[in-house]
Amino acid sequence: MPAVHTLLLEEALQDSPQTRSLLSVFEEDAGTLTDYTNQLLQSMQRVYGAQSEMGLATEQLSRQLLEYEKQNFALGKGDEEVISTLQQFAKTVGELNTLHSELATQMADRMIFPMIQFREKDLTEISTLREIFGIASDEHEAAMVKYSRLPKKKENEKVKAELVGEVAYSRRKQHQASMQYYCALNALQYRKRVAMLEPMLGYTQAQINFYKKGIDLVSKKMDSFLGSVSSMTQNIQAQLDSEAEAMRMTQRELLSMEDTVYMPDRDPAPVNRTLIQKAGYLNIRNKTGLVTTAWDRLYFFTQGGNLMCQPRGAVAGGMVLDLDNSSVMAVECEDRRYCFQITSPNGKTSMILQAESKREYEEWICTLNNISRQIYLTDNPEAVAIRLNQTAIQAVTPITSFEKRGEGSPNPDRAKPGGMQSSSGASQKTSSAPEPEDLIVPGTPIQFDIMLPASEFQDQNRAGGRRTNPFGETDDDCSPESDDSLLQQVFAVRFLGSMAVRSGQTQEVIYEAMRQVLAARAIHNIFRTTESHLMVTSSCLRLIDPQTQVTRIGFQLQEVTQFVAHQENGRLMGFVVEGRDWGEDDEEGEPSFSAFVFESNTEGEKICYTISLGKDIMEAKKDPEALVQLLKNMPLTNEGKFLLLDNETGNTANGGAPDEEESEA
């Protein structure tokens, strides 16, 4: 016998759209079976009630048996053994239709009664359990709606406990109803085989026993066939008994779980931050008017780099948002708990979702962040996610403001004008790769933003005022009025972080700083960045606010000792700045180094090339002949500056439009 399709009782509690979709197939199959059973029973009753028309009734019964092969059952057209057996029965009925004249009693006991019992017991039970399951599902949905509206700020423990109990009770009730419903549908797949074969077996045996005249002729042809049919029904019944016992054991095992399984926000399992796939129910915030919103509970899952949504009853899900390079962050929304927002890279598309528990809330944010980094495209995404998580755990605790610098940590931002200059932007690699501890002191704070105080903003806009640089650098040569150099190039960048490093002469220190900054952002779920404009001139680097045109920070180009783009992610770049700690009586101290990490809208190599060109110009200014030779080799604009951009992108200077500054260099 072929395998029988069954519903998994283990999936009853999750009640996912896939399970509901499969359940609808079983329900459609049961409906088709009910219609066919009624038709078959009517044919049998006609045989029983119309003895005078027995020939016509048996002929119709024969035709009806052949229709089983043509029935469009949702789970399949039926196994070949049942179809071939019914076809053989139809042939036998056609041969015996002249002998059916006195079969009322035997047909009532052996043909009509089993079919009526199947219809009234099994099919009616399916209909009743379906109504109970629907009521339990509606009660669970109503309880979840009440629980989702539970306020976060003014939390009432008594109300919360009542709602949690109501959710647990309704969820348990739905779980029990669904498992009973699934068991009945699974058993129906066996019972329908027996119900189709057993009445015809009794009918044929009654014909043989009743008609003495034809017993020799009939029995010689049918004994072996009927024996095989009887054995087949007994085997099916044995399979049904075994499956029913297994389902009862599974049901008892599943119902013996702790009550915390049914309670929201009671999952003791730790948060898994290395997931690259996630699925489950979330509440999504939808606008219903200009100022009104509504929350819908839908099933979300990730597929590749996309966030998918599948309503209940749908065969498949649809794409909601492309997660590549998207940002995910926790938000406060309508006094609801566990809310987070997903924003597309261009910022034009965003959505707010609410998780059921704190664990789900953190796992969703981590999973979406892992997908946003395109970890799923690597050869071994699970290993990459685990390695990223381990790296993040080892990362230092972040500091979200430069004003929160720990005491005793190196001060990498106090630079002396005219510091040591590097001969080139890329130093030669050492023979052996240095350890991370040799590049960066363990426990070094990471700073994720560049805060500009309000008083400093006023100083920059006050005529004749002098800006106080929060890093301690002097920017006399980096003021906007002094940007008359041969090179002025602006790039749209996002500051990711900075930290003190031990050396500024190797590119490995920048790679290690990138690793620690990104890992720390991942472990602490810091994904929001602010876009700035990085201006590269032949004398300095300046980070400019695109809205106010205020210089947030500036560096002398001669203080930049190393700069490099990431080897795999071309949009990441960083540079190292050399400074010196000053002691008492203006004594020059030991040199210190600070690494800065940025993400650009263009290739990081182009920014590095521009910095290298700026250093070449700075060196060439010392030798007039070298400067003339450099001017001959590079194209210039009408203003006499170096042309680095294509005509369609344009060259932007300080104060240019933000759209132009986002052009790829």
Q: Which residue has the higher pLDDT, 38 or 475?
A: 38
Which pair of tokens denotes residue 83? 């179809």
Instruction: Express each pLDDT in 333-355 by its tens digit.
Output: 878 889 999 988 877 888 999 99
Lowest mean pLDDT among 18-22, 308-312, 385-389: 385-389
Instruction: Express each pLDDT in 617-644 by its tens digit.
Output: 888 777 777 666 766 666 655 555 555 5
Q: How far apart are alpha carbons 544 and 457 in whole angstroms? A: 12
Give the per-residue pLDDT at 101. 66
Per-residue confidence at 71, pLDDT binned at 50, 70, 90?
confident
Across 41-45, 275-279, 281-285, 288-292, the highest mean pLDDT is recorded for: 281-285
Mean pLDDT of 154-167: 86
Number of neighbouring beta carbons within 10 Å of residue 90: 20
Which pair of tokens denotes residue 608? 């590095």
Mean pLDDT of 277-305: 88
Q: How far apart are alpha carbons 347 and 360 in whole angstroms? A: 25
- Residue whose C-alpha is closest to residue 175's, from 136, 134, 147: 136
Which residue ranges does the chain devote to CATH 2.30.29.30? 279-379, 446-453+484-581+590-632
Instruction: Express each pLDDT in 394-422 by its tens digit.
Output: 433 333 333 333 333 333 333 333 333 33
Instruction: Express each pLDDT in 585-610 by its tens digit.
Output: 556 667 889 999 999 877 788 899 89
SS3 at position 504: coil
DSSP letter (8 states) at residue 642? B
**CATH number for region 17-151+158-218:** 1.20.1270.60
SS3 at position 566: coil
Which pair of tokens denotes residue 259? 């009550």
Per-residue confidence at 564, pLDDT binned at 50, 70, 90?
very high
Mean pLDDT of 368-389: 70
| CATH 2.30.29.30 is the classification of domain 279-379 | yes
Q: How far apart are alpha carbons 662 and 600 in whole angstroms? A: 9
* pLDDT of 426 over the 50 cut: no
Give the per-residue pLDDT at 597. 93
Give the per-residue pLDDT at 262. 81
Angle at 444 (CA atoms; ends 518, 558), nearest 5 degrees: 85
Angle at 587 (CA atoms; ends 584, 593), nearest 5 degrees: 105
**CATH number for region 446-453+484-581+590-632:** 2.30.29.30
Q: How far apart are alpha carbons 439 and 256 in whole angstroms? A: 55
Contact assessment for residue 536 and residue 607, using Cβ atoms and an 8 Å cutoff: yes
In the Cβ-directed half-sphere of 81, how many Cα atoms lie within 13 Å? 15
Give the per-residue pLDDT at 88. 86
Phi, psi of 554 (to 5 degrees): -140, 150
pTM over 0.95, yes/no: no
Mean pLDDT of 352-375: 86
Give the per-residue pLDDT at 648. 33
Q: How far apart are alpha carbons 425 and 612 in whole angstroms? A: 6
Q: Is the dihedral of CA 242, 247, 252, 257 positive or negative?
A: positive
Mean pLDDT of 648-656: 37
Give the per-residue pLDDT at 283. 93
Q: How far apart are alpha carbons 169 and 172 in whole angstroms? A: 5
* pLDDT of 208 over the 70 cut: yes
Give the per-residue pLDDT at 520. 83
Contact assessment for residue 621 and residue 627, using Cβ atoms and an 8 Å cutoff: yes
Contact assessment for residue 225 and residue 88, using Cβ atoms and an 8 Å cutoff: yes
Give the per-residue pLDDT at 392. 45
Distances (CA, A) of 572 to 391, 397, 415: 18, 22, 25
Give the per-residue pLDDT at 354. 93
* pLDDT of 460 over the 50 cut: no
Mean pLDDT of 252-276: 80
Residues 6+ apart with CB under 8 A from 308: 300, 301, 302, 317, 318, 319, 320
Q: What is the mean pLDDT of the chain?
A: 76
Instruction: Express each pLDDT in 118-151 by its tens digit.
Output: 988 889 988 999 999 999 999 999 998 988 888 8
Contact assessment for residue 117 and residue 109, using Cβ atoms and an 8 Å cutoff: no
Give the per-residue pLDDT at 397. 35
Q: Which residue has the higher pLDDT, 633 or 612?
A: 612
Instruction: Express each pLDDT in 228-250 by its tens digit.
Output: 888 888 998 999 999 999 999 99
Q: Which residue has the higher pLDDT, 99 or 160?
A: 160
Lowest mean pLDDT among 259-273, 275-289, 650-664: 650-664
Q: Which residue has the higher pLDDT, 50 or 458?
A: 50
* pLDDT of 665 over the 60 cut: no
Q: How far apart are alpha carbons 455 and 566 in whole angstroms? A: 36
Lowest mean pLDDT among 74-83, 108-117, 485-494: 74-83
Give the per-residue pLDDT at 79. 75
Q: How far apart are alpha carbons 128 and 207 in whole angstroms? A: 36
Structure-token match 């009973």, residue found: 180
The DSSP line for 106-156 is: HHIIIIIHHHHHIIIIIIHHHHHHHHHHHHHHHHHHHHHHHHHT--SSS--
Longest dimension (CA), the chain: 132
Instruction: Express each pLDDT in 482-522 by its tens digit.
Output: 444 567 888 889 899 998 898 888 889 999 899 888 888 87
